[in-house]
């Protein structure tokens, strides 16, 4: 079976459970994902299905992608992603994966792209403590010593330094599925998931 679906993170809210306790949830809208291509070991060397989601006008699809969709005999979609399956030959172009498949699922793994923070220092990026804030310290937010002098006369790989932060692929595992609304294509999971609003996320059965 296809154990994943792609959607967009709408944002966070809170709901009450059966014990009247407040539960913070992230709302993910996952419209039906269409199978756009089937890849098998005989033709591609591995078993997978290509899922398409998101609406797009036909005039905005370039010619190579328009030919790809026309070959499969389906309407164009904005995004294409692959999901590995055990037996891809069981599926055909045009099949749909909906949130109804997650109705009985208790835990999911959610993968998304974290928010970009730009170039950041070691305190924000790695959680360094920094120096004293008083006058005359001359050591506030800088990294400090990063290596030795004569030996080895270089900086070792992996030293935590300032640099680009965010825009990484992050997976949060074993999030609890609080509610599945098949009518509105919504999945509510307990806790936060990577990325900002309207970010594309993959929800996979844990």
The CATH number for 60's domain is: 3.30.160.810
Strand-pairing partners, residue 29, are: 8, 186
Instruction: Provide the pLDDT for residue 1.
Output: 85
Domain assignment present for residue 201? The answer is no
Confidence of residue 29 (pLDDT cuts 50, 70, 90): very high
Instruction: Provide the pLDDT for residue 71.
Output: 93
The dihedral built from the CA positions of residue 160, 166, 169 and 173, taken in this order, carries a sign that is positive
Domain assignment present for residue 151? The answer is no
The percent of residues above 90 in pLDDT, for the chain, comes to 92
Does the bond joining 113 to the residue before it have cis omega, within 30 degrees of 0?
Answer: no
Confidence of residue 31 (pLDDT cuts 50, 70, 90): very high
Domain assignment present for residue 144? The answer is no
Domain assignment present for residue 14? The answer is no
Domain assignment present for residue 67? The answer is yes
Residues 118-136: tens digit of each pLDDT: 999 999 999 999 999 999 9
Question: What is the rounded average pLDDT of the residues 87-105?
Answer: 93
Residue 148 scores a pLDDT above 90: no
Please give the residue range of the domain that contains residue 92: 32-97
Domain assignment present for residue 51? The answer is yes
Query: What's the structural domain count of the chain?
Result: 1
3-state class (DSSP) for residue 58: helix
Confidence of residue 16 (pLDDT cuts 50, 70, 90): very high
Long-range contacts of 36-42 (CB under 8 A, 24+ apart): 36/68, 36/69, 36/72, 36/74, 36/77, 36/80, 36/93, 37/68, 37/72, 37/93, 38/88, 38/89, 38/91, 38/92, 38/93, 39/82, 39/88, 40/88, 40/89
Query: Which residues, 6 or more positions from 152, have their beta carbon under 8 angstroms from its beta carbon?
Result: none
Instruction: Provide the pLDDT for residue 125.
Output: 96
Length of the chain: 206
Write down the mean pLDDT value for the chain: 94
User: Distance between CA atoms of 95 and 86, rounded to whole angstroms?
Assistant: 16
3-state class (DSSP) for residue 101: helix
pTM metric for this prediction: 0.88
């Amino acid at each position: 079976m296809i154990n994943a679906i792609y959607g967009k993170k709408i944002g966070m809210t809170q709901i009450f459970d059966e014990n009247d306790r407040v539960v913070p949830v992230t709302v993910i809208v996952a419209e039906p994902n269409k199978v756009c291509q089937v890849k098998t070991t005989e033709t591609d060397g591995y078993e997978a299905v290509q899922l398409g989601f998101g609406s797009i006008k036909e005039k905005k699809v370039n010619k190579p992608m328009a030919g790809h969709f026309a070959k499969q005999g389906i309407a164009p979609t904005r995004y294409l992603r692959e999901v590995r399956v055990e037996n891809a030959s069981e599926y055909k172009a045009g099949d749909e994966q909906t949130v109804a498949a997650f109705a009985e699922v208790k835990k999911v793994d959610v993968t998304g792209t974290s928010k970009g923070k730009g170039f950041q220092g070691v305190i924000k990026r790695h959680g360094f403590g920094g120096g004293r804030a008083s006058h005359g310290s001359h050591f506030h937010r800088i990294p400090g010593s990063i290596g030795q002098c004569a030996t080895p006369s270089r900086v070792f790989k992996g030293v935590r330094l300032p640099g680009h932060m965010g825009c990484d692929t992050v997976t949060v595992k074993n999030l609890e599925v609080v509610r599945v609304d098949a009518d509105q294509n919504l999945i509510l999971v307990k806790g936060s998931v990577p990325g900002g609003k309207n970010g594309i996320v993959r929800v996979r059965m844990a």
